[in-house]
Structure 1
Amino acid sequence: MVTSFLNTTLVDLLRDRALSSTAGYTFLTDGETQTEQLSYRQLDEQARSIAAHLQALRLEGERALLLYPPGLELIAAFFGCLYAGVIAVPAYPPRRNQKADRIRAIAQNAQPAVVLTVRSLQDAIDLPGRCIATDAIAPAASEWRSPDVEADAIAFLQYTSGSTSQPKGVCITHRNLLHNLSLVYQKFGHSPQSRCVIWLPPYHDMGLIGGILQPLYGNFPLTLMSPVAFLQKPDRWLQAISRDRATTSGAPNFAYERCLKISPEQRSRLDLSSWEVAFVGAEPIRVETLDRFAEAFAECGFRREAFYPCYGLAEATLFVSGGKKSDSPSILTVEKTALKQHRVAIDPAGERLVSCGQVVDQVAIVDPETLVPCAIDRIGEIWLAGTSVAQGYWNQTDPAFEAMLNGQPFLRTGDLGFLHNGELFVTGRLKDIMIIRGQNYYPQDIEATIAQSHPALQPNAGAAFVDSGDRLVVVQEVTREQWRSIDVDAAIAAVRSAVSQQHQLQVEAIALLKPNSIPKTSSGKIQRFACREGFEQGKLEAIAQWP
């Protein structure tokens, strides 16, 4: 049982762990066996040193932009900010100019008083103002003064991934965090005997809150690796789970897809029998992916009951809903035609949808046009209320936080879904829906069909959208193994045929892209608006285009 910290702060949480816990973080520097370690006691000491430096600069209440590679320095800087009463702003670090525009957009909105980083990145940061390398700060833990910070103070700004718009800074308070961490701890069935492995980017909600902060809250150890380590060799993730006897780990759907390419020889060295909670979220969850993964890794001791589909978003801190630990994911089979009409009709021969479990706070399914709650069998926008819902966006107002229902404020998530027997099913994004000949189509359904239409097409690396000429357009990556030898005509014909047969739609333009070139967020989500913009401006890295 974890002591309640609901009316305190993350500073109180880490101070408690530093005095009473022997657990901490292990970072796999090479993604495999080389490690750096940081106990909660050592983290507290480093945080106090960084905080003392920030306090000397009189930065309490200001923002600090955190630009770090994945690793332990970022964690120390994050808590250093909290220990100083400074609002942390974690962001993806500069890398070959790929993230420069996003960093500038975040800096323009947050107006940080200081940038914190490491010496190795300091010269690559092109932002105005003071820049401090925290790995060069002299030890000064004894000079730290406990900040005057309350539970409702903003702890950090969580910039949204920007899959449909410019990034916005969600104001996450200490109360939001500790409430949501408590929910995750309870729903995942965690205990001090739990062990976690994570590779997710630490710059957004799932990696930072679900990955880094949850083990601290639960008082159990965490092993981290960088996202690049996983993307280079997906078996590193499963090796770490096997080696550490991890009980909790997870990722978006695409990561489980990538693991299906692990060879039989690599699988033979894995023991996944300790894995109790294999959470999956952050993007549409495919029943087919869960089925294939469970079948492929059953010989390694993986149990299908370990899958834990869940739903969340930054505006609600992280976690919104999840299933029951040790239960197989709940599947509902519905009629495809009804879905296009935003209706739910059970059809044993229809499309299989994965439940995201019971919602832990208040939820309403609302017609996004009339703003009236939907009938039970209708799909609508998911609205939320509760302690996890954030205060709003930094330095800007947004209708998403201004909705009212029965006199109570609700958050408009922009996600579409429905409730069935008390469980939440998420069907898509309101902004992503394509209306073709009066019918509603979810792009992720068409994208899944496309990825399965030809072996040279990379799963979870395509986008379907309607362009400015009202044409159905597909942009799709080719696999690394086949992009130089692909039969372009055969692949294009396969895409057109599959979409026609399964969705009764005609694809009117196709672009096949180089591997790893499709626009994505730092969390791996496809940026459909950027794909459309890049296609129309001819800026995508296409190896072939039709017509």
Structure 2
Amino acid sequence: MTSTVPTPTQTSVPPLLLDRLRDHARASPDALACAFVAEDSADGAEEEQLTYASLDREVRAVATGLRAHLAPGDRVLLLLPEGADFVRGFLGCMRAGVIPVPAYPPLPVQSRQRVETLRSIVADCQPRAVLSSASDEDVEAICGVAPDLADLVWRRPAELLELTPDPAADHPATADGVAFLQYTSGSTSAPKGVVVTHGAIAHNLAMIAAGFDLDEPPRMVSWLPLFHDMGLIGNLLYPLWAGGSSVLMTPMTFLKRPARWLRAISRHRAHVAGGPNFGFDLCVRRVRDREIEGIDLSGWRSAFNGAEPVRAATLDAFAERFAAYGFDPRAWWPCYGLAEATLLVTSVDPRLAPRRLTVDRDAFQQDLVIPVEVTAEAAAPADDITTLVSCGTAKLDRTVLIVDPETGGPTPPGRVGEIWIGGPLLPVGYWDNERATEETFRAVPTEGPQLPYMRSGDLGFLHDGELYVTGRCKDLLIVGGRNHYPQDIEATIEESHEAIRKSCVAAFAVDDGGEERVVVVAGAGQGAVGPGENAAAKRAEIVKAAAVAVAAEHGIQLHDVAMVGPNAVPKTSSGKLRRAACRSSYLAGEYAPSTPTEQTAHTEES
């Protein structure tokens, strides 16, 4: 069985995050810990700053307020916007020994997706308190749609900051103690909370530090949401652990005007910044020269790219577009990770350009890896080849195995399989979900080291010791760096228009050569299928309703909605959707073209 590193050995636990924060506050009290960019800032100017001394004091004040009502181990739901209150609240919970549970605030409460997700998280982790900066009116509205929250202890960080820190509220962290619950982007009916320990955080932060291999504390600029692992651990906790600084802006600040991110990187001379592949694409498409006049990106040493497939075309386009502003393509740092592994699993060598591998496309579609040497003199046709970007290797005794997902046995060289992850100090499982924990975190291969591994659900292969990620075992969609379950999108579409038949909607992803796009095949009645102007008008009406509903509920844009008769949606004999068969039929052109959704969904400018 192939592995990136030898069988894991006993690894010592790196210094814990809370211990490092206290050390930094004592050694460098006036050093910048984190800053927050104003929503309307054009050049990344910050509206609020926290030094290590002020952060330490405020975190201990929050911990004091929480311990007045809670005991160590109690769960606290964080319904806080990205910003200083989130940082204070999250770290204050950890300092008090209570378990923070970051969750997206369900505002507006008309969003069924957000409300159902929140209610499922509450039912799963049974919090005793809520930290929120929402107004009284918004709190009342939230409790109206999520009544289980009404009887909990509600506190605002601003109120807790007025308290005098009590040393007795400081609960010592241990390596095997639960630090927080990271809920994955899953089905609204059964979300799963990854149990992340203090030791798992410390080990992953040490992996990140080893991967970046910086010779000074990191300076980072991020727009990634703090409710998810890459934003929280990679862009907030890592620089705090390493004694560096992070400048944070909200995702919406970036999405509305991507140039703000680049200007902030220049303004703060950031060493490290990055995000999902789509973010770099957005910069290429949306940033205008007049918006970035005078910026200097030459200090950008690590441009990490992860959370969704890393595309060679994106790396090339971004490097070419911003070369005139000092961006060095040697800064690219593709990586692979997921919440179930805390965050980072593999990364490239920062001293070398990321490796690329060109393979035969027809073979690759059958999960066979056949390298193709492409030279200027004898270039293969573009339709016959696929170029993949390496996500590097694991570090600090982390292991990666490529396994047949059906048998649990080793995959032969040159074949794609499921990525299994092993080694020390991984998260211990899902909160109060023994069945899912056993399936995901305790997999044992049929050959090789009989040690428990974590099943990622992702597909990939190893070539010359480096990991190439190729897709997902299941139907999970990744759009804009976030995971989406197709059944959630399908449910939204079913409710968007009365002509759409229940259980006759299939959502899947297609690759247009630049990024993944979401396509839906929907079975419909009421005269929506067939020739004629009336049917065409009906289809346009349904497509618009579906696109608007999905944009509002999930924050993504549909690439296409193909309308078919209800009986044309492929299913198994037991009535289950056959999404893979549906996707194949769509790609084969078996469904009639329908009205494009580009103008009906929320556009990038909205």
Same fold per superposition (TM over 0.5): yes
Tell me the secondary structure at the aligned position of residue 431 of structure 1: coil
Aligned to 2:405: 368
Distance in 2 between the 1:359 and 1:123 partners? Answer: 47
Contact 2:421-2:455 at 8 Å conserved across structures: yes
- Higher mean C-alpha displacement, 105-114 vs 9-18: 9-18
Tell me the secondary structure at the aligned position of residue 333 of structure 2: strand
> Offset of 1:59 from its aligned partner?
2.2
Tell me the secondary structure at the aligned position of residue 329 of structure 1: coil
Contact 1:267-1:297 at 8 Å conserved across structures: no
Distance in 2 between the 1:237 and 1:413 partners? Answer: 31
Aligned to 2:494: none
Contact 1:276-1:306 at 8 Å conserved across structures: yes
Distance in 1 between the 2:37 and 2:272 partners? Answer: 17
**Bigger-Rg structure (1/2):** 2
Contact 1:250-1:278 at 8 Å conserved across structures: yes
Determine whether 1:183 maps to 2:247: no
Aligned to 1:463: 518
> Offset of 1:145 from its aligned partner?
3.3
Determine whether 1:25 maps to 2:34: yes
Contact 2:97-2:171 at 8 Å conserved across structures: yes
Determine whether 1:357 maps to 2:392: yes
Deviations 1:444-501 (A, max 9, x none): 5x3324xx6xxxxxx65x31467789xxxx99979x9xxxxxxx99x99xxxxxx99x
Match of 2:360 among 320, 323, 335: 335
Determine whether 1:317 maps to 2:342: yes
Distance in 1 between the 2:368 and 2:602 partners? Answer: 32
Aligned to 1:526: none
Tell me the secondary structure at the aligned position of residue 125 of structure 1: helix
Contact 2:117-2:189 at 8 Å conserved across structures: no
> Offset of 1:330 from its aligned partner?
1.1
The letter of the residue matching 2:453 is: F
> Offset of 1:443 from its aligned partner?
6.2
Match of 2:124 among 92, 102, 109: 109
> Offset of 1:112 from its aligned partner?
0.4
Contact 1:447-1:464 at 8 Å conserved across structures: no
> Offset of 1:269 from its aligned partner?
2.8
Determine whether 1:512 maps to 2:574: no
Deviations 1:402-451 (A, max 9, x none): 311232101110000000000000000100399xxxxxxx965x3324xx
TM-score, normalising length from structure 2? 0.73
Tell me the secondary structure at the aligned position of residue 224 of structure 2: coil
- How is 1:6-25 mapped onto 2 (pairs within 5 angstroms)? 6=13, 8-21=15-28, 22-25=31-34
Q: Which structure ranks higher in relative contact order (CA pairs < 8 Å, sequence separation ≥ 6)?
A: 2
| Unpaired segments ≥5 residues, structure 2 | 1-10, 144-148, 375-379, 478-506, 525-542, 552-558, 564-582
Contact 1:114-1:131 at 8 Å conserved across structures: yes
Tell me the secondary structure at the aligned position of residue 376 of structure 1: coil
Residues 186 and 165 of structure 1: CA distance in aligned 2, closer, same or farther (over 3 Å): farther
Residues 506 and 202 of structure 1: CA distance in aligned 2, closer, same or farther (over 3 Å): same
Aligned to 2:185: 161
Contact 1:94-1:124 at 8 Å conserved across structures: no
Aligned to 2:568: none
Aligned to 1:404: 444
Contact 2:33-2:50 at 8 Å conserved across structures: yes
Residues 303 and 7 of structure 1: CA distance in aligned 2, closer, same or farther (over 3 Å): closer
Contact 1:168-1:394 at 8 Å conserved across structures: yes
Q: Kindly, what percent of the aligned residue pairs are identical? A: 41
Match of 1:61 among 73, 80, 83: 73
Aligned to 1:223: 247
Aligned to 2:62: 50
Aligned to 1:379: 416
Distance in 1 between the 2:452 and 2:369 partners? Answer: 27
TM-score, normalising length from structure 1? 0.81
Aligned to 1:431: 474
Deviations 1:385-414 (A, max 9, x none): 122421000011211113112321011100
Distance in 2 between the 1:34 and 1:105 partners? Answer: 36
> Offset of 1:163 from its aligned partner?
7.5
The letter of the residue matching 1:448 is: D
Distance in 2 between the 1:68 and 1:254 partners? Answer: 25
Determine whether 1:391 maps to 2:391: no
Number of residue equivalences = 479
- How is 1:433-512 mapped onto 2 (pairs within 5 angstroms)? 446-449=510-513, 462-464=517-519, 506-508=590-592, 510=594, 512=596
Tell me the secondary structure at the aligned position of residue 13 of structure 2: coil
Distance in 2 between the 1:404 and 1:219 partners? Answer: 38
Distance in 2 between the 1:16 and 1:516 partners? Answer: 53
Match of 1:300 among 312, 321, 325: 325
- How is 1:63-142 mapped onto 2 (pairs within 5 angstroms)? 63-97=75-109, 98=111, 99-120=114-135, 122-126=139-143, 127-128=149-150, 129-137=152-160, 138-142=162-166
Distance in 2 between the 1:164 and 1:310 partners? Answer: 28
The letter of the residue matching 1:354 is: V
- Higher mean C-alpha displacement, 320-329 vs 209-218: 320-329
- How is 1:266-281 mapped onto 2 (pairs within 5 angstroms)? 266-281=291-306
Tell me the secondary structure at the aligned position of residue 36 of structure 1: strand
Residues 178 and 214 of structure 1: CA distance in aligned 2, closer, same or farther (over 3 Å): same
Distance in 2 between the 1:182 and 1:321 partners? Answer: 13
- Higher mean C-alpha displacement, 356-365 vs 64-73: 356-365
> Offset of 1:68 from its aligned partner?
0.5
The letter of the residue matching 1:359 is: A
Distance in 2 between the 1:381 and 1:83 partners? Answer: 37
> Offset of 1:6 from its aligned partner?
2.7
Distance in 1 between the 2:362 and 2:268 partners? Answer: 46
Contact 2:120-2:189 at 8 Å conserved across structures: no
Aligned to 1:438: none
Deviations 1:220-273 (A, max 9, x none): 111111111001111000000011111100010111111012112224332111
Residues 226 and 515 of structure 1: CA distance in aligned 2, closer, same or farther (over 3 Å): farther
Aligned to 2:576: none
Residues 511 and 82 of structure 1: CA distance in aligned 2, closer, same or farther (over 3 Å): farther
Aligned to 1:422: 465
Distance in 1 between the 2:32 and 2:208 partners? Answer: 19
Contact 1:365-1:417 at 8 Å conserved across structures: yes
Distance in 2 between the 1:403 and 1:367 partners? Answer: 12
Residues 164 and 421 of structure 1: CA distance in aligned 2, closer, same or farther (over 3 Å): farther
Deviations 1:122-162 (A, max 9, x none): 44532231211121123221354331431101100001122
Tell me the secondary structure at the aligned position of residue 424 of structure 2: coil
Residues 163 and 270 of structure 1: CA distance in aligned 2, closer, same or farther (over 3 Å): farther
Residues 511 and 412 of structure 1: CA distance in aligned 2, closer, same or farther (over 3 Å): farther
> Offset of 1:197 from its aligned partner?
0.4
